[in-house]
Amino acid sequence: MSSKTPVLTDKAPKPLPGIYSQAIVANGVVYCSGAVPMDAATGKLIDGDVKAHTARDPEITIDPIQPANTSTLKQHQCIKNLTHILEEAGSNIDKVVKVNVFLSNMDDFADMNSVYMQYWGDVKPCRT
């Protein structure tokens, strides 16, 4: 029988008590719960569109040839939250092999992709 270890960090929004974990580590694999654009310190959803919710922090430079528009980079809350959870579990975003993306409006698909592409190099995770 395998063991399951819950992951909890104050750097990401707290899970609802008794309902779910931020992540579980089982057999060396980290399974993360979904992430919303919530600031862990305030417990409030951040303002803005899908780019603001998923974009990298403007202080982080990914591609100097095609830098992102800083007006769209208010926060990178969803992926930032997942990054903190992965790090608490002893992993990191570079080891991600599968991502599920849920959008409430398919008109946001292109904007989400433009930000998503900044997070991984040539080998992108599988994605749904």
Using a pLDDT cut of 90, give the percent of the chain over it: 44
Structure tokens at 72: 């769209």
Domains present along the chain, CATH in parentheses: 4-127 (3.30.1330.40)
Q: Which of 67 and 78 is assigned the larger pLDDT?
A: 78
125: burial class by Cβ within 10 Å (0-12, 13-18, 19+)?
Answer: middle
pLDDT, averaged across the chain? 81
Residue with tokens 């809350």, as numbered in its chain: 77
pLDDT surpassing 90 at residue 72? no
> Mean per-residue pLDDT for 43-59?
68
Q: What is the pTM of this model?
A: 0.79
> What's the pLDDT at 77?
79
Among 17-21, 32-36, 54-58, 123-127, the minimum mean pLDDT is found in 54-58
Phi, psi of 12 (to 5 degrees): -130, 160
Opening angle at CA 88, ends 85 and 92, nearest 5: 70
pLDDT surpassing 60 at residue 106? yes
